[in-house]
Structure 1
């Protein structure tokens, strides 16, 4: 009996048969996201560690559509503000592709998008071989529908709390006013726009990182405006740590700022030195691509549906980050705490149930997924 050959599952798909199919599905997503138009003036903000084939891939689209492209490279992605000497180049561009950290927060970038400039951020597309992954070929229209279905669960016309809990004891609340809700959900990604085709677009490629459950879009990116929030988070993991935490580490907040970190382990000591005094800037960065690897948190948190990362800007650069991630795509003044099993309510409505994004079973999402294949396989079979 020990020598018998048991076969209970089908063999893996033959890559020689399905490889071309998968490649063209991913390329179709790629071409749609980079919605470059004839006459566009494209500026590519690059860094030395970016796979040069990525630049050439984008340049191919530029050339095929009768547009032009300039490439500007900084020494790393950890650019915290647009350098003075390229402001003119940036202002002249109509379409920007960027690896730089400051892309979302620099006031000039924000203003140019308000004036109609279109952006694709490629934090998750630093190697052309990523086109071969399941997340690259997952239908972007379903990703957009998941964002819209989640947005629909935010209570309309009333104040509410975004409430984060988990089995470790997290109890963290972010207060929303009706006006904050409208501003937060009015951004193009919350409206499910996955392609950079409309004025003011800001999208990610690969199309994995959905919109944040809360960020400063809710106050028009005015960092002088404080949002009412408080409580404690017990993250399972953080960027730059080799494996999830063994100790139950508590990160306490007083408003937007970290007031204390509880715990005795070496990881807790590192986080306490790093985080106390830091400011929350992403209250639940959420994944929306069902084929994004769930247990891959580098470079900026898992992007699997229902996995969350909490972005905190630090008081000072972290020596720990500089030691363990000298070439990290983000500067050492930022840290992402990760939870994979949070439950999140917006008022009475559940957004995430123990790490499962509830919108995955929304009837509109399932109906759309059925146009592309088996909804269960597409939406509920994770990648680890």
Structure 2
């Protein structure tokens, strides 16, 4: 006997049903949200390793969420440290203002939102000679970021991932670092053994994600980079650049609303952009912006819970994603128009790539955007202490 009035459900019926699902609900119960927040706060407390009696200095800007300053100031107060703040009109400073020098020189621990934090000569000198400890907060400009998967991902595990990546580099020999992707990118950077030693012996490549080590420079939220090529390869010696050549086809860049539809080629010679190939409006803008500029950092993400395709404000931080940081001499009117309050000056651009394969010698660092260090036995073992290592390391935030 059949029910002649019954109509079997179609695929469209299933798709349009308001109850149809094969996935768990996305809502987070208040109790779980509280647990997640305290997990992130524990990471926060570890990174900001402020000590009793220290002079703590904030170098901030008017657009920074004041709750960020208050939260870290609370940690400092609980540890018996003294807090001061110097607010500049913008984050886009490329050097330390004269009026801030005295405060900076007195500080033991500095929290900075300024672009100058990493490269200003005074700041570099104080880290090197005084052991001043720094935390850069480009990726912690809003306290609500504590409620993200990236914030609660264990900071020690980010460090272990970084050390596992560092261990893949050849040591004691010269080698080629090569970049390729499905679009046809073909770029080679010539590394000497000394360049690799200079870069990998820095605190960030040693996996230091907390501001405990004298002279350290770390990022919160962890981690932005560390870079697989930057000025540290030559110990910041002026004028020194790597031998580098090839064509890169980036997928996106800061200050552009959408990923590139056209295959735009950025041509390099010894770290300098010598040409931008393409006929689209985006290619014209990039050409006007970066030709003659030089790559100063080539950042690699190491946090698998950082948003996978977020290129703003300074390139993606997801494990295996790359950003090519280019400095140029003439301020870009495009950047001044579309991102006037950008955290970086309109003398810089970050090109983003999410599917690159990177080899160092005959070893693969990144395979089509997947950071091979995530498969390291030491990383998997440490991740298993916090949960399912597959979920921890390979369930990316998209």
TM-score range, shorter chain: over 0.9
- Residue aligning to 2:3: none
Distance of 2:65 and 2:239 partners within structure 1: 37
Check conservation: 1:95, 1:117, Cα contact below 8 A.
yes
- Residue aligning to 1:142: 157
Distance of 2:320 and 2:143 partners within structure 1: 26
5+ residue gaps, structure 2, are: 1-8
Q: Does 1:154 align with 2:169?
A: yes
Q: Output aligned runs, 1:1-384, within 5 Å.
A: 1=9, 2=13, 5-12=19-26, 14-115=28-129, 116-283=131-298, 285-384=299-398
Secondary structure in 1 matching 2:226: strand
1:173: Cα distance to partner?
Answer: 1.2
1:13: Cα distance to partner?
Answer: 5.7
Check conservation: 1:258, 1:277, Cα contact below 8 A.
yes
Secondary structure in 2 matching 1:310: strand
Q: Deviations for 1:206-242, whole angstroms, at most 9, x for unmatched residues?
A: 0131200000111111232122111111101000001
Secondary structure in 1 matching 2:275: strand
Distance of 2:22 and 2:90 partners within structure 1: 49
Q: Which moved more, 1:357-366 or 1:5-14?
A: 5-14
Q: Deviations for 1:101-131, whole angstroms, at most 9, x for unmatched residues?
A: 0111111111111120000000000000000
Q: Deviations for 1:277-321, whole angstroms, at most 9, x for unmatched residues?
A: 0011012x1111111111111101111111100000012100000
Check conservation: 1:135, 1:208, Cα contact below 8 A.
no
1:162: Cα distance to partner?
Answer: 1.1
Distance of 1:6 and 1:254 partners within structure 2: 55
Distance of 2:349 and 2:383 partners within structure 1: 34
Distance of 1:365 and 1:327 partners within structure 2: 38
Tell me the number of residue pairs that the alignment of Structure 1 and Structure 2 aligns: 383
Check conservation: 1:82, 1:102, Cα contact below 8 A.
yes
1:15: Cα distance to partner?
Answer: 2.1
Secondary structure in 2 matching 1:175: strand
Distance of 2:99 and 2:141 partners within structure 1: 25
Check conservation: 1:147, 1:210, Cα contact below 8 A.
no
1:35: Cα distance to partner?
Answer: 0.3
Check conservation: 2:320, 2:371, Cα contact below 8 A.
yes
Q: Which moved more, 1:84-93 or 1:153-162?
A: 84-93
Q: Deviations for 1:83-105, whole angstroms, at most 9, x for unmatched residues?
A: 11221211111100000001111
1:7: Cα distance to partner?
Answer: 4.6
Distance of 1:149 and 1:203 partners within structure 2: 18
Structure of larger gyration radius: 2
